[in-house]
Structures are given as structure tokens and as C-alpha cells.
Amino acid sequence: MDDVRHTFHQHLREVETDIVRLAAMATETIPRATAALLDRDLPATQQLIDDDDEIDVLTHDIEERIYDLIVRQGPVASDLRTLLTSLWMTSEIERSADLATNIAKGARRIYDIELNPVARGLISQMSEEATRLFRLAIEAYVERDAGLAAALDDIDDRLDQLHSEFIQSLFEHQSDSGLQPAVQLALIGRYYERIGDHAVNMGERVGYMVTGSLPEAGAPTDEHDEAGAETDGGRPRAVESNADDPDPAGS
């Protein structure tokens, strides 16, 4: 029995290590997408879009291993919470990488548009805040830090404010580039904001893993899909859901 438990925890540590690796890959996509957008770098946008396949493959591999551990080992209590949290975290990470990919796709559509200094500055700040939130969420997961995990919701207020300022700037400067580029930029701003929401969701999952307490059903939540539909009381959507990757204008 001791050997079985040792093997289980070894596999669990390997899963957690790969989740951190997946998160590092996803986190890197945020500043990469921003640089491609601001530099109007078409090869960089295409490379980021292509690289998303690697993230998808690793995501699928991690999920399959988690399912296997749940089915074969029948974990309970803290071990089960850790596996469920790892599964949810993997989904949140993969969706965030999809959002960064959407930023790259949006950049490709408006590559011939010169962004005004206000828009450039706000995009840079949103990118920095989204990246910081994501890194803090992973730090909370690795360190089992429920306090940091709970603080992410408040930290996200800064990104929400930047997003509001960005949308306001689009209204004020719409005539500079026209309606369609403004729509694309609004979507891009939304993607940054959604990445922050996913970081907050990750914090909630970490809180559950550490304390055993789920977010209250029906509690206010910022998580919406791109069509505006709320999630079910702060709990994760099915892993197969792709609501964050609508890419409404196509690839």
C-alpha cells in the first residue's frame, strides 16, 4: 500500500510540474502577442498562432493523466481536491493561451493601422497587468498560498480599470482609424481583461484546494463568455468548452 501511495504522489507531482510548465508557456504568449500587435509584426503573430498547438497538446496530455489518476487511484480528501484543482487550472491556462492567440489574430487583421500613443500605452499596461496576474496565480498554486489566491480578485481591479480606460479611448479616437479597426481593438482589450478573469478563477481554485471551500453558488462573478452568458455560479464550465475562443472575425 505504501508503494502505491508513493507512486500516486510521484505521478501527482509530475502533473503539477507540467501544469507549471504549461502556465509558463501560456504566460509567455501574453507579452509576445502584445509585441506583435504594437510592432505590427506579421511573422511573429503567425508564429504565436502556430505555437498554440503545442499548448493544446500538453493540455490534453495533462488532462488525460489527471483523469487516469482519478479513475485508477480513487483519491479522497486533499488528494482529490488537488487533482480537481489541477484539472480546472489546466483548463483556465489553456483558455488564457487561446485569448493571447486571439490577440495575435486581431493584430494580424489591423497590421496596417497605426495605433495612437494613448492606445499603445494602455495596451502595454493591460499586457503587463495580465501577465502579472497570471504569474501571481501560478505562484499561489505552487506555494499553496490561499491568501495570495484570495487577493487576486482585488489585484484584478487595476486591469479592469485599464480596460475601461481603453474602451473610452476608442470612443474618443474612433475617427482616427475607422469603425472596423476600433471593433478589433475593443475585442483585443476584452481578451486582456478576460485573461485577468481567468487568473482570478485560478485563485478561486487554489483557495478550494487549500481550504476545501468552493466559491459560493450564485455569488457575483466576472466570468462571462464572449456572448455575455454567465457561468454557473463561479464554478468551472466543462473542460471541453471553448467559449473564450470565439474569434468572431475568423482566423
**Alpha-carbon distance 25 to 54, whole Å?**
9
pLDDT of amino acid 6: 76
- For residues 128 and 172, the answer to whether their CB atoms sit within 8 Å is no
Domain positions in the chain: 2-211
DSSP 249: T
The whole-angstrom separation of Cα 190 and Cα 164 is: 10
- Structure confidence at residue 134 (pLDDT): 95
Query: Residue 4: what pLDDT?
Result: 67
The DSSP bridge partners found for residue 230 are: 224
Task: Fill in the amino acid letter for 89.
Answer: M
Domain 2-211, CATH: 1.20.58.220
C-alpha cell at 189: 482589450
Residues of the chain with pLDDT under 70: 1-2, 4, 174-177, 216-251
What's the pLDDT tens digit per position in 13-31? 999 999 999 999 999 999 9
Specify the 3-state DSSP secondary structure of 224. Answer: strand
* Nearest of 227, 219, 162 to residue 196 by alpha carbon: 162
* Closest of 238, 232, 211 to residue 88, by C-alpha: 238
How much is the pTM?
0.84
Q: 3-class DSSP state for residue 79?
A: helix
pLDDT for 103-154, tens place per residue? 999 999 999 988 999 999 999 999 999 999 999 999 999 999 999 999 999 9
C-beta separation of 244 from 231 below 8 A: no
